[in-house]
Every structure is written in structure tokens, then in C-alpha cells.
Structure 1
Amino acid sequence: MIKVSRSKIDLFLECPRCFYLDVVKKIKRPPGFPFNLNNAVDMLLKKEFDRHRVAGTRHPIQIEFGIDAIPAPHPMMDKWRQSMQHGVIFQDEEKDLHLYGGIDDLWINSKGEYHVVDYKATAKDNPVTELAEWTAGYKRQMEVYQWLLRKNGLKVSNTAYFVYCTGDNSLESFDNKIEFHSHIIPYEGDDSWIDNVINDLYSCLQSSTIPHKSYSCAYCGFFKKLYVELKNDRNLLSN
């Protein structure tokens, strides 16, 4: 089976050529910088919500924002969080695709519906209280998680939640700590686009031809320019 992660689905939407080179030819884009501070916030939030998961109680921020849910005590939570080793998995036998993605958290409401939850951390002068236009990728991320969980038989609510933690960079000093203002931002997901994208993605993988360069892709533009420069350098050396 061909393994396709949630992030690879997003890569396909961004640039089919980069997706094909990554999954089929194993030629990956240069890696980005790790977000170690964001990862630390994620880990600490997971520990907090896990304590309430064990106790069967609401987290204080859920009470503050009037969320009718508790951290879901699902037996697969540990595996579903492991994006590299496991994650939430759906195997499309017909297409021979292994589709997966690692969630941050899962809450369950009084109706027995599951809510996908994602933690986000940033630093700004003012707390983030709503999703900006550039967060379209975050929204797609939630919808893929909802789709995967539904494929696993869960009753998933369209309402997902972002726990958005904003580090206050307006303070006068650091003093070995960062003050965070945390908000829960609801998002109404719609995963109706995913099946069509999976079909297109599958057709791309089955092709023997590398997709054309995408003019909107910065990586395609960079490598095209690099190729021209190297070609010119070889011509100069041969003269």
C-alpha cells in the first residue's frame, strides 16, 4: 500500500508535481525549521487534558468557553496521536492507499458526538480569537481528521475546536516565562471535498508522467531557476 499522510494530501492540493516527486520518486522538499516551542505547548496541553480524561471531568478552559464536552476516553487516543508511527488510519483497499494523520485531541459531548481538537501556539500583541484568511490549511487539516475518524466508524460532529494559545510579546521583560492567553475557536468543518481529491491524488500516483511545474509553487520556481543557472555555468565551463 502507498502511504499518504494528511500533510501529503495538503501537499497535493498545493502542488501535484511536488507531491508526485515526494511520494513516487522519493525526492522531498527541503525540510522546514522545527517549531520546538510550539511542540512544548502541545505536549503540556496534552498532559493537562489527559488528567481530565482520566478523571472524566471538563478542563477549565472548556468550562470558561461553555463547551459541552470532556476529553474523550477513547482506547485508541495514544495511537491516534502518533502521526509518524500510527495516527488515525483508513486503508482504501480498492486504491491500495494507506491514508493517515495524527490528531492532537478528541473531545466527546453529552450527545456522544466526537469533536476533533487541534492545539495552536503563536506570539502576538493581541490574543488570537478567530481564524484568519491564511488559515485555510488549518481548516483542511481539521476536515481530513474528521473524514478519517468517520471512516473509523465514529460519530463525528461537524464542529471542531482550535485551542489557540497566544504568547504575549507586549510585556516589558521575559523573566524566564511567557504569558499565554488561550482561547477556544470553533470551526464548522465540511469534508465533502476529500473523496474527489483522493480520486485525483490516486490518478496522479498512477501516472508515469511527472506533473507540470506549478507557477504558483515557490519550490518549483526555485528549482527551475537553479537548473537554468547550473546549465549556464556548465556552458561557461565548456567554452
Structure 2
Amino acid sequence: MPYTFSPSSLSLLKDCPRCFWLHFTKGIKRPDSIFPSLPSGMDRVLKEHFDRFMEKGELPPELAECNGECRLFNDKSLLAVWRSNFNGIRWKDERGNLFRGAVDNILVKGKKLVVLDYKTRGYPLKEDTPAHYQDQMDIYNLLLRKNGHETEDYAYLLFYHPNTVHGNGDVDFHSDLVKIPIDASNA
């Protein structure tokens, strides 16, 4: 019987092998926790923000460190599929198992793709924070490669955390762009 795997379900395998087994063999799922709506709202707003720059053929200020070496992926219809939690980037293995993942954005450097993932936090980065997303980035890159796309050997994580609240209630966010190496063979 084929299964469907995503970065989060594969993360479950690492976090709790028994939970993974119960989920996929007995249909017993871990109880859902309350998912705060602020991160999904931020995700939507950030995608809209980046899409405005993509339509102008420019990079947003958060990507200034890229020094013009890349551009935003501009195939809007394909990106919409890749971003969709119900579709995403998909690949079936020889046993019929479906692997899928939904990216936030893609950069293009020459002929290669670079995964860009947005992360929102309540506080500044810790030194080990990017490592918590390694498997997710490796899986996204594997999926792109299995679909015939060349990818760079790195991905970007773009972290946002609140910095200041102004008197009128507007909140300023600080952003940190972190380049992490990827290894699709670890996916």
C-alpha cells in the first residue's frame, strides 16, 4: 500500500518513530495542537510582498545580501502549484509512495533553483535555529531534482521576528537571511 509523505510526516519519523508507525500502519494520529493563525497570516503577507517584487523583476530588500546573483522564480502558475499545501512539489518512488512538499518561494541562480523558506519567530535567532530546518530544505531540493530541476547546493531561510511596536500599533520586523548547505542525499 503506497503512502504519502511530506517534510512534516518525515520529521515525525525522526521525532517519534512509534508515532510515525501508528500513523501510517494503524491510522492513529498524534493529537493536533492548536495552530496559531499569526504565522499563516504572515506567510500569506510575505508571499504577496515577494510576488510584488517578482512582478517588477526585482529582489526585495530582505535579499540584498544576494548581491544580484539570483532572481525570484517568475513562473507564477507553477509557483502557485509548488506553494499549495494540497499539491506542492510531488514525486512518486518505485513503490508508488508519494513525496510532496510546499515551498514558500524559489530563487533562480543561472540555470539552478534555490529554495527560499520564510520563518516567523517571536525572538531573535539562536545559533542552532537554522539546523532545525535542515531536513525540510533537503527534502524540497530532492523533490525539485526528482522533477528534473537542477538546484544549488544551498537554500535560504528568511527569518522574521518582531523588533518594535510604534505608538500607532504598527509593528516593525527584523529579518535575518541565513544560507544553509543542502544535501538531497540526506532527504
Do the structures match in fold with TM over 0.5?
yes
Unmatched segments (≥5 aa) in structure 2: none
**1:85-141 C-alpha deviation (Å, 9 max, x unpaired):** 10110011x2220110111110112x22111011011122xx43xx63254331111
Match of 1:21 in 2: 22
- Which one has the bigger strand percentage? 2
Total equivalences in the alignment: 185
CA distance in 2, matches of 1:9, 1:153: 22
Matches within 5 A, 1:163-174: 163-168=158-163, 171=164
- Contact 1:80-1:88 at 8 Å conserved across structures: yes
**1:175-215 C-alpha deviation (Å, 9 max, x unpaired):** 42322011211111112223xxxxxxxxxxxxxxxxxxxxx
Match of 1:187 in 2: 180
Taking structure 1 as reference, are residues 67 and 37 closer, same or farther at Cα in structure 2, changes over 3 Å only?
A: farther
- Contact 2:116-2:156 at 8 Å conserved across structures: yes
Q: What is the RMSD computed on CA atoms of the aligned residues?
A: 1.9
Match of 2:84 in 1: 82
Taking structure 1 as reference, are residues 81 and 60 closer, same or farther at Cα in structure 2, changes over 3 Å only?
A: same
Match of 2:32 in 1: 31
Percent identity (aligned):
29
CA-CA distance at 1:54 after TM superposition? 2.1
CA distance in 2, matches of 1:136, 1:21: 27
Unmatched segments (≥5 aa) in structure 1: 195-239
CA distance in 1, matches of 2:129, 2:60: 29
TM (normalized to structure 1)?
Answer: 0.71
Match of 2:139 in 1: 144
CA-CA distance at 1:33 after TM superposition? 2.1
Match of 2:59 in 1: 58
SS of aligned partner of 1:32: coil
Taking structure 1 as reference, are residues 24 and 67 closer, same or farther at Cα in structure 2, changes over 3 Å only?
A: farther
Q: Which has the larger radius of gyration?
A: 1
